[in-house]
């Protein structure tokens, strides 16, 4: 093989290798941030809450079980108890649609979904869980975020970029 052709081939391979490293596997890519209208539409319950008593315990080799206490300060959409415990899995080794770790104690805007669940004993009930994509279901509280959510709930307006 002639030298220019060999250099071209090795250059092309180097570029492909670099692109593979930069892009990485899809399972390690963070999901795109949804627009505010998509996030509001995708949650059946949106609230401002104070998170406390955050605990994380091993679940299996790839996941951890996270639990926290939520004290509701304001319900922006749907219905909620004034206090409840929230539990879900976190996946430290992935970005995908999941949380890598639970949020720290503090004040957040929570995007949740009310789901029907069945206990091991066969009893039906309801549970709140983080809305999809879970990576964006806990947003640090700010008045401007609450105003943006209320504006989205109250009618069509310009969506954020």
- Which SS3 state, helix, strand or coil, does residue 151 take? helix
**Whether residue 45 sits in one domain with residue 19:** no
- Are 58 and 121 found together in one domain? yes
Same domain, 41 and 82: yes
Is 159 within the bounds of a domain?
no
pLDDT at 124 over 70: yes
Q: Same domain, yes or no, for 5 and 55? A: no
Quick check: is 31 in a domain?
no
Query: Region 79-89: what's the mean pLDDT?
Result: 94
Q: How many CB atoms lie within 10 A of CB 91?
A: 18
pLDDT (mean) for 6-25: 50
Predicted confidence at residue 40, as pLDDT, reads: 96
- In a domain, residue 160? The reply is no
The model carries a pTM of: 0.76
98: pLDDT confidence band, cut at 50, 70 and 90?
confident
- Residues of the domain holding 100: 36-153
Helices (H) and strands (E) in the chain, counts: 3, 6
Q: Which two tokens stand for residue 145?
A: 């975020």
Q: Within this chain, do residues 109 and 70 fall inside the same structural domain, yes or no?
A: yes
Is pLDDT at 11 greater than 90 in this prediction? no
Q: How many CB atoms lie within 10 A of CB 137?
A: 23
Whether the predicted pLDDT of 161 surpasses 80: no
Other CB atoms within 10 Å distance of the CB of residue 101 = 12
Domain count, the chain: 2
Predicted confidence (pLDDT) at residue 125 exceeds the cutoff of 90: no
Residue 87 sits in the same domain as residue 67: yes
**Residue 23 pLDDT level (bands cut at 50, 70, 90):** very low
Residue 65, H or E segment: strand 64-77
Say which residues have a Cβ less than 8 Å from residue 60's Cβ, sequence separation at least 6: none
Helix (H, G, I), strand (E, B) or coil at 75: strand
């Amino acid at each position: 093989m002639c030298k220019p052709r060999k250099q071209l081939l090795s250059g092309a391979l180097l570029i492909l290798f670099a692109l593979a490293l930069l892009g990485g596997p899809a399972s390690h890519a963070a999901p795109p941030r949804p627009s505010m209208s998509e996030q509001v539409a995708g949650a059946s319950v949106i609230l401002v809450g104070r998170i406390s008593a955050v605990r994380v315990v091993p679940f299996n080799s790839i996941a951890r079980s996270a639990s926290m206490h939520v004290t509701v300060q304001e319900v922006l959409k749907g219905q909620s108890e004034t206090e409840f415990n929230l539990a879900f899995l976190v996946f430290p080794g992935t970005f995908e649609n999941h949380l890598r770790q639970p949020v720290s104690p503090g004040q957040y805007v929570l995007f949740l979904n009310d789901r029907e669940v069945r206990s091991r004993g066969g009893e039906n009930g309801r549970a709140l869980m983080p809305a999809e994509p879970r990576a964006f279901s806990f947003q640090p509280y700010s008045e401007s975020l609450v105003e943006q959510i209320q504006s989205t709930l109250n009618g069509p307006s310009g969506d954020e970029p």
